[in-house]
Amino acid sequence: MSSLPLVNIKPLTRAAFAPFGDVIEMPGADHFPINNGFTERYHRLSTVGLAQADDKAIINIFASRRWADPIQLTMLEQHPLGSQAFMPLDNRPFLIVVADKTETGEPRSLHVFITNGQQGVNYGIGVWHHPLLIIAEQQNFLVVDRSGSGKNLMEVELPTQLQAQIDLQSLIDEFIEA
């Protein structure tokens, strides 16, 4: 077992995640009927952030595998030219790790959230976050991302005092049926 401290994991809410982007979920969202009443449209759940005029919003599917337990939080990434939205396709909870920034833009402190399996997130432009962390063995996500010129990925190794770990087995026991 690693000597890194365990992180505190909080339920994902719009208010708690607001400094980092948007929670994408239906409850509480603006909605109205379309298609002669056969469809309910949950409108403008998030906005794609694009930094340059020639940028395009693209749609991807990410097929993710679970990280080894315990999950070591030793690095983060950010996308300085566009937002990045993740919506689970498998109705399973997943983890979101984000960080506040220092005045010079480096990660300062970690925040870890767990979704209810039906929530997605849209990381704001430049928000430090960990790559996908799932609890199930495998999970698929619809991802809305940015395509365009320029480097849109920055990765950093976290300083020792920010590194932490997640006890995945306790989350599996709590959230995933055996």
Q: What is the pLDDT of residue 34?
A: 94
Decide which of 4 and 83 is more confident.
Answer: 83
Q: Distance (Å, rounded) from C-alpha 25 to C-alpha 13?
A: 10
Count of structural domains within the chain = 1
Could you tell me if residue 93 is inside a domain? yes
Q: What is the pLDDT of residue 172?
A: 83
Helix, strand, coil shares, percent, the chain, to 5: 10, 45, 45
Q: For Cα atoms 14, 118, 129, give the angle at the middle one, nearest 5 degrees.
A: 55
Q: What is the pLDDT of residue 104?
A: 86
pTM here is 0.91
Q: Which of 148, 86, 152, 144 is nearest to 117 (CA)?
A: 86
Percent of the chain with pLDDT over 90: 86
Could you tell me if residue 2 is inside a domain? no
CA 53 from chain centre, in angstroms, equals: 25
Is the alpha carbon torsion for 163, 102, 147, 15 positive or negative?
positive
* Stretch among 90-94, 164-168, 169-173 having the lowest mean pLDDT: 169-173
Q: Which of 142, 86, 137, 138 is nearest to 115 (CA)?
A: 86
* Stretch among 1-5, 41-45, 132-136 having the lowest mean pLDDT: 1-5
**Stretch (H or E) spanning 57:** strand 56-65
What's the chain's average pLDDT?
A: 93
What pLDDT digit, counting tens, does each position of 57-94 carry? Answer: 999 999 999 999 999 999 999 999 999 999 999 999 99
CATH number of the domain to which 112 belongs: 2.60.120.480
In the numeric block, the tokens 């991807």 are attached to 60
**Stretch (H or E) spanning 157:** strand 154-157
Could you tell me if residue 105 is inside a domain? yes
Range of the domain at 57: 9-175
